[in-house]
Chains A and B, each alone.
Chain A
Amino acid sequence: MNLNDLKLLSPEIFLSVSSLFLLVLSLSKVDVKRIVNLSIISLIITILLVCNLWFGWLFEPSSKNSLLGSFSSDNFSLFFKLLILLSSLITVFGSFQYFVSEKTRNYFGEFISLIFLSIVGMMLLVSSTELITIYVSLELSALPIIVLLSIHRTKLGIESGIKFFILSAFSSAILLYGFIYLYGLTGSTNLLLIQESISKMSLNEGSTFITYGIIISIVLIIAGFSFKMAIVPWQMWIPDVYQGAPTPVAAFLSVASKSSAFAVIIRMFYTSFTNEDLMLDWSLIFAVLAAITMTLGNLFALNQKNIKRLLGYSTIAQAGYILIGLAAIPGGNSMNFSGIQGSMYYLGGYLFTNMSIFIVITIIISRTKDETIEGLSGFIKVSPVYSIILVVGLLSLIGMPPTVGFMSKVIIFGFAINSGYPWLALVGVINSVLAAFYYLRIIRFIVFEEPSTTKLTQVHLLRDNRTILAGSICSILVLLLGIIPFILLEMSKKAINFI
């Protein structure tokens, strides 16, 4: 390990150290508010360190790769690191009130250090360019979440923790099985070397054994990661886990965990499996999965009464839209990988959209203890600011102009049509009408119904300036990125030059 490695790994190292530091600090009698503030500061510093690597403010690393080529700190990984860190920052900042007032207060040190460890796992995951590193960092990102899910020791929480544990172990096993095939056929665990040896194989020309072997490993890898990305048919855990999880953890799962899984699958497929015949194969797999995922996610969401379950199903549907970008490889011989740019734009917009909804839901549920959609009745009279944040977020999930949700849908459907999947775009747009039905139902309860319970008045008691600030920044960004999509598009364009 030389100096360059230290530079490249600086965000991860800083975050791990601060995770342990906060854990130790929480053993002493420091006020929990101070620990929350410290954790926010360390997240901000980590973000600055990542930005530093992107823009090269303090130092320019001499090479982007380190650790014997198993770790790459290119713009692609930095983009996703920013997404993960920003979503965590918004979660921690916006849920301030939750952390200091709930039972979380007693074990916030453990809570935040586990979250940090999971973030470190995700950051390593999006940077890794080698199968074993991918597997290890995947486990590092998943294990703390199991603890976080059942940290309140409620019945639902423990159920969701165990569910997540078993399924995540199961999916890791499937993933490993896929990796083994790949290693056996190519003799390497490095993604670039795998690509080289696949390109020498002359697939589909008599060597059917190898072709099928690669296809099997592709299917297994997709299955393994689909668990994290919430793709049908590996989505069953989502609603249960979301319902049982502490709301900030659900928020963390919905964006950070999902985008890291998307990042690694994009990197694997666009580095290793770039053979043209193979691309056509896996792009079709992704297309079919995307269509099924968004349709089923939306259909299940139609009849949900619990807001957290509904958001769970909505993240499944959104994962389907994001997957369209992965399926959208350019037809013919032109090898520009534009489709994933759409996916990355979608994820960026989805971050702010989903975070604005989740942090408001967190504070409402922690006050009213009512997780039903009816519980939001007449919320606009109780708290107009929260309601506006929620409504803007929901409109963005529907895909109404001028929000970022609309722009990302337009771009991603455009890519689908461009790469020869017009049916996928049709399924997508019809799905967005389906989705409008249940999102509008929530808006209807918030804006039109009369407040039915007295519970809602309690929200008055804890009008949290931090939540309002974080939520309104998210809402403004949702609108801004929808009207001026260029900023995020330019970033994602810079990010995909790893190929």
Chain B
Amino acid sequence: MFDGILSVTIFLPVISAAIILFFFKNNNSIRYFANFTTGIVFLLSLMMFLNYDTEISGFQMIDYFETWIPFEYLRSSYIVGIDGLSAPLVLLTGILGFVSTLASLRVEKRVKEYHIWLLVLISSVFGVFVSLDLLLFFIFFEFELIPMYMLISIWGSGRPKYSAMKFVLFTLFGGALMLVGILSIYMSTDVGTLIMVSIPELNLVGIPELIQYSDLLLPASFIFILFFIAFAIKLPSWPVHSWLPDAHTDAPTAVSVMLAGVLLKMAGYGLIRINIGFFQNTKGFSIYDASVFISILAAISVVYGGIITVRQTDMKRLIAFSSISHMGFVMLGVSAIGTSNSNTSIAGINGAALQMFTHGTITGLAFLMVGFTYERTHTRHIPHLGGLWHKIPIIAVFFFISGFASLGLPMLSGFVSEIMIFLSTFTIWPIATIISAFGVVLAAGYILWMIQRIFFGVKPPDEIFSDEIYDQIEDVKKIDLLPILLLTIPVFLVGIWPSLLTEIINLGVEGVLR
């Protein structure tokens, strides 16, 4: 079975990276070509999202080569496809990939390598969301580290090499544990396949069905923990979050957008697809037993992330820490699996999946606006800023929008996902939900405080924020409105019309929960 469009979307960025490597020399033409590629990829992802047939549901646009590795001890196939869970994330990757190249127009250092790595990164992220073979999934999951390592180390600021190394080692550690999990599932005689889902049309029986009554080589709870640690590191959840603020703060703007926007979502996707999908009802273990711990971890992440965020004085670091808090909501939504009422848990996981999309667009927008502000003020230290409202009104307006969406203002997309999560988890884990709800209050605190300090009040005196720089500040150019609008439109659209996404997501989540 071969549909093609999905494989084209995955590999188009890599191919054009290779073309840039061999045929391009001029910096401007590299930029245009990279933007052209990501633009096409964006259109392709939008097309796939719109073409996903909600009547049929299930997996669609499947590309399937059965014999990628026909080795008798490691049978792995090349299989990609999208369902309701991955379709929004594919769209998100398309949007943010385009935004990230658009936001890189002013990168002047080693332009060629920069765009090559960025395109490779986009490809590998796509691969994670659409792979339906565990080994393939793992390969994309790990491969993304190489471009990220390069992008943060070379083009970062602050202590980039330290941060990049920390990021890579944390993720590699999680990936290593996940590899043991994958192999021990595959090597169990009753399973013996790497296909992550069952696809009736292709007569494929996936791990979720096979694992139910199988004797696994390792205890199912142990395998669950191996996967869970890997994704908790990537999400990131307390107590393994410490790589995130460093990596975010030191990364260049476009990379921060990608990192917060889509890379963290790999973890949420993995939690839903693998941890929930596989371990609902295995021998001797079920995710229901673990869900209370998930909810506790989620509540700690949300509040701990929020409290630390309040203390930050660096704009970018502030947004980075707020990601910990907001991704905590994803985990809280996942913990909704711990009820026998399937409607409630579906609602909660729907909320988690929606939160991934909304957080991707909102934080992407926030990092973009921080990047634009930083380009103009040359400092991210909030106490050194002030009175910028009159100088850069457009940036200010969109900064406001991202901030308000992030604190969950109704009519903007953040509200929808958070309310979905809270409504469902409240009946299951009331205390964890109540504690997590304080995360929203904290968010209002740090966001409003930051916006107020940056844009209102009077400009600090000359010795803190030099007049010379202040006078030169200009608002965004027209071309910069394109990435801004690409991110703002989904924020409004989902806020006003959530069923645009929830309908599709619901199909995917129901598929995962069977």
Contact = CB atoms under 8 A, between A and B. Distances in A.
Interface of A: 338, 341-342, 395, 400-402, 406, 409-411, 413-415, 417-418, 420, 422, 425-426, 429-430, 432-433, 436-437, 440, 444, 447-448, 485-486, 489
Given A429-B179, A444-B153, A486-B71, A406 B139 contact: yes
A430 B135 contact: no
**9 A-B pairs closest in CB distance:** A429-B176, A401-B139, A418-B187, A414-B183, A433-B172, A489-B71, A433-B173, A417-B187, A401-B143
A410 B73 contact: no
Contact of B169 (A433, A447, A448): A433
Contacts of A429: 176-177, 179-180
Nearest to B73: A338
Contacts of B74: 410-411, 414
B292 interface: no
A425 B168 contact: no
B142 interface: yes
Interface in B163-180: 165, 168-169, 172-173, 176-177, 179-180
Nearest to B150: A447
Q: Tell me what chain B mostly uses at the interface: helix, strand, loop, or mixed.
A: helix
A447 B139 CA distance: 23
Nearest to B170: A433
A420 B143 CA distance: 29
A150 B22 CA distance: 44
Contacts of B145: 400
A406 B143 CA distance: 10
A373 to B, nearest CB: 14
Contacts of A437: 165, 169
Contact of B71 (A409, A432, A485): A485
A156 B142 CA distance: 41
A410 B141 CA distance: 14
Contacts of A417: 180, 183-184, 187, 217-218
A430 B176 contact: yes
Which of A400, A409, A430 has most B Cβ within 10 Å?
Answer: A400
A420 B146 CA distance: 32
B473 interface: no
Given A414-B183, A417-B217, A433-B176, A402 B169 contact: no
Interface string B178-193: 0110011011000000
B149 interface: yes
Which of B143, B161, B173, B176 has most A Cβ within 10 Å?
Answer: B176
Given A430-B176, A433-B173, A437-B169, A410 B71 contact: no
23 contacts: A400-B143, A400-B146, A401-B139, A410-B183, A411-B73, A413-B183, A414-B73, A414-B74, A417-B184, A417-B187, A422-B180, A422-B184, A422-B217, A426-B177, A429-B177, A436-B168, A440-B165, A440-B168, A447-B153, A447-B154, A448-B153, A448-B161, A486-B69
A92 to B, nearest CB: 30
A143 to B, nearest CB: 39
Contacts of B150: 447
Contacts of A406: 139, 142
A430 B173 contact: yes
Interface in B273-330: none
Which of B71, B74, B186 has most A Cβ within 10 Å?
Answer: B71
Contact of B187 (A342, A414, A436): A414
Given A417-B180, A417-B183, 8 more contacts: A338-B73, A409-B179, A410-B74, A417-B187, A426-B180, A432-B176, A440-B165, A486-B71
Contacts of B200: none
B67 to A, nearest CB: 8
B158 interface: no
Nearest to A342: B73
B369 to A, nearest CB: 29
A394 to B, nearest CB: 11
A411 B165 CA distance: 27
B165 to A, nearest CB: 6
Contacts of A444: 153, 161, 165
Given A400-B146, A429-B179, A486 B217 contact: no
A341 B180 CA distance: 19
Contacts of A425: 180, 183-184
A432 B145 CA distance: 14
Nearest to B69: A485
B73 to A, nearest CB: 6
A448 B69 CA distance: 36
Contacts of A402: 139, 143
B179 A422 contact: no
B165 A413 contact: no
A348 B168 CA distance: 27
A471 B168 CA distance: 27
A395 B146 contact: yes
A420 B74 CA distance: 17
B179 to A, nearest CB: 6
Which of A411, A433, A444, A485 has most B Cβ within 10 Å?
Answer: A433
A485 B143 CA distance: 17
Contacts of A433: 169, 172-173, 176
Contacts of B177: 426, 429
B420 to A, nearest CB: 35
Contact of B179 (A410, A420, A489): A410
A346 to B, nearest CB: 13
Interface string B191-226: 000000000000000000000000001100000000
B225 to A, nearest CB: 12
Nearest to B71: A489
Contacts of B169: 433, 436-437
Interface string B354-395: 000000000000000000000000000000000000000000
Contacts of B168: 436, 440
A416 B139 CA distance: 20
Interface string B128-140: 0000000100111
Contacts of B138: 401
Nearest to B138: A401
A425 B226 CA distance: 13
Nearest to A409: B179
Contacts of B139: 401-402, 406
Nearest to A488: B71
Nearest to B186: A414
A447 B149 CA distance: 11
Given A406-B139, A429-B177, A448-B154, A418 B218 contact: no
A342 B183 CA distance: 14
Contacts of A489: 69, 71
Contacts of B149: 440
Nearest to B226: A426
A425 B154 CA distance: 34
A489 B68 CA distance: 13
A338 B73 CA distance: 8
B159 to A, nearest CB: 12
Contacts of A411: 71, 73-74
A433 B166 CA distance: 11
A410 B172 contact: no
A414 B217 CA distance: 11
A37 B356 CA distance: 61
A418 B217 CA distance: 8
Nearest to A489: B71
Nearest to A485: B69
B17 to A, nearest CB: 14
A238 to B, nearest CB: 25
